[in-house]
Amino acid sequence: MTFPSPYIVLWKGPINKPSGLGIASREYVRALRQLGVNVAISAKSAAPFSKKNKVLIYHHSLNSLNIKKERKHFKTIIINTVWETTRIPKRWIGQINQADAVCVPSYQNKQALLNSGIRIPIFIVPHGVNARMYTPMTKLPLKKTNRTFTFISVFGFQHRKNPEALLKAYWEEFSAADNVQLIIKTNGYAPYENERWIRNRILAYKHRLNIKKSVTPPIQLITQHLNSRALRSIYSRGNAFVLPTRGEGVGLPFLESMASGVPIIATGWGGHMDFLTSKNSFLVPYKLRPPTTSMNRKSSISRQFRHLFAEKGQLWAEPDIGSLRKQMRRAYENPGLCKLKGQQARHDALHLSWNRAGLSFKKAIESTIRFKK
């Protein structure tokens, strides 16, 4: 049984956006409400409550946060954020330290804040996945059905996601003689970054690598927005999910792939390492490097977000492409192993619910309130 909370939370976050932040905002709010927390998503709804009983959860970009202004209305201010390198942007440090607490979704995120000089309490509040919404399809033996082995990858078309390593490893490791395909679900970040623009960037990169089109296996590119049902259907087609990311605060596609019973091939560093293991994944070794090292290479083909990731002192992971190729080959040649790892991934995902995340968030809120008294 849950009881109404003696405080009200005003949640300022991208509730209506289809992005990962939007999904997290909606799921956190839903989970907190199920636990009896009074959560408002508009200032008007929270207005009748006194300042001492009002808690602000701020889940937007910190560039738009005015702590002094918010202090006029809230006794308790908690920032909910996420980060992908070893240090947060310097301009965020003062903002965060003026709040009462900060919530992040992974151990790597907490370490990044500590590395940056954050002095307020830091709570790890994980993301989750509604695993029971995903129904893993029974994958028939490939050899008996001549079914194509399918790699899938879901990501925004940006440098941090490392699309050039994914493409290079796939093109160099496999040929048209291999019964394999790669499905990429991606998107740009501006109107001109449409399917034609992304496809042209990929083809130009392939040309620079001097890889002949006739000898490579197929790639299916999907760039349009998909509803949740259509996205789940893409995961269900995969034998393995692959993303040689340079850094993740969490990595929601990893969680969604796990829920679908699809094993992961991923860089062994980042927020996703809170739930990826050698039992449910194929992990790729890496070295920590300054983001500008790879940004300055001609091989960079996607949006870089230098204003976020190019500060001195920031590091992220550069996965070993040779090892990535080996892990992709290992997955391709061992579909039975993929199935076993996928079953473990599905089992693990069932324990990573948003309700679990909501409970962690509720504890963080109430610990912060007690500290303020």
pLDDT tens by residue, 260-273: 999 999 999 999 99
Please check whether residue 82 lies inside any domain of the structure. yes
Residue whose C-alpha is closest to residue 373's, from 68, 26, 52, 144: 52
Please check whether residue 144 lies inside any domain of the structure. no
Which residues face 180 on adjacent strands?
149
Structure tokens at 295: 């940004």
DSSP code, position 303 = B
Whether residue 120 is found in the same domain as residue 166: no
CATH number of the domain to which 13 belongs: 3.40.50.2000
Whether residue 94 is found in the same domain as residue 189: no
Q: Residue 2: which pLDDT band, with cuts at 50, 70 and 90?
A: low
Structure tokens at 306: 């230098």
Does residue 162 register a pLDDT over 60?
A: yes
Whether residue 103 is found in the same domain as residue 56: yes
Please check whether residue 1 lies inside any domain of the structure. no
Whether residue 344 is found in the same domain as residue 218: yes
What is d(CA 299, CA 168) in angstroms, rounded to the nearest whole number?
A: 10
Which residues have a Cβ under 8 Å from the Cβ of 77 and sit 6 or more positions away? Answer: 55, 56, 58, 67, 70, 71, 98, 99, 100
**Distance between terminal CA atoms of the chain?**
27
Separation of CA 360 from chain center:
19
Please check whether residue 166 lies inside any domain of the structure. yes
Show the domain range for 296.
Answer: 149-351
| Averaged pLDDT of the chain | 92
Pairing type for strands 8-12 and 54-58 reads parallel
pLDDT in tens, 274-323: 999 999 999 999 999 999 999 999 999 999 999 999 999 999 999 999 99
Whether residue 342 is found in the same domain as residue 366: no
Q: Residue 200: which pLDDT band, with cuts at 50, 70 and 90?
A: very high
Does residue 191 register a pLDDT over 90?
A: yes
Whether residue 322 is found in the same domain as residue 178: yes
Please check whether residue 285 lies inside any domain of the structure. yes
Which residues have a Cβ under 8 Å from the Cβ of 345 and sit 6 or more positions away? Answer: 257, 258, 259, 261, 262, 263, 264, 280, 281
Q: How many CB atoms lie within 10 A of CB 297?
A: 9
Total domains in the chain come to 2
Residue whose entry in the numeric block shows the structure tokens 């340079």: 246
Whether residue 157 is found in the same domain as residue 297: yes
pLDDT > 70 fraction of the chain, expressed in percent and rounded = 93
Whether residue 157 is found in the same domain as residue 263: yes
Whether residue 94 is found in the same domain as residue 154: no
- State the sign of the Cα–Cα–Cα–Cα dihedral 170, 171, 174, 180: positive
Please check whether residue 135 lies inside any domain of the structure. no
What is d(CA 269, CA 27) in angstroms, rounded to the nearest whole number?
A: 25
The residue among 141 and 340 whose pLDDT is bigger is 340
Whether residue 54 is found in the same domain as residue 185: no
Q: What is the pTM of this model?
A: 0.93
Please check whether residue 142 lies inside any domain of the structure. no
Yes or no: say if 264 and 257 are a contact pair by the CB < 8 Å rule: yes
Residues in the chain: 373
What pLDDT score does 194 carry? 96
What pLDDT score does 1 carry? 44
Structure tokens at 211: 């890889």
pLDDT > 90 fraction of the chain, expressed in percent and rounded = 82
Whether residue 173 is found in the same domain as residue 121: no
Whether residue 222 is found in the same domain as residue 325: yes
Please check whether residue 134 lies inside any domain of the structure. no
Pairing type for strands 76-80 and 54-58 reads parallel
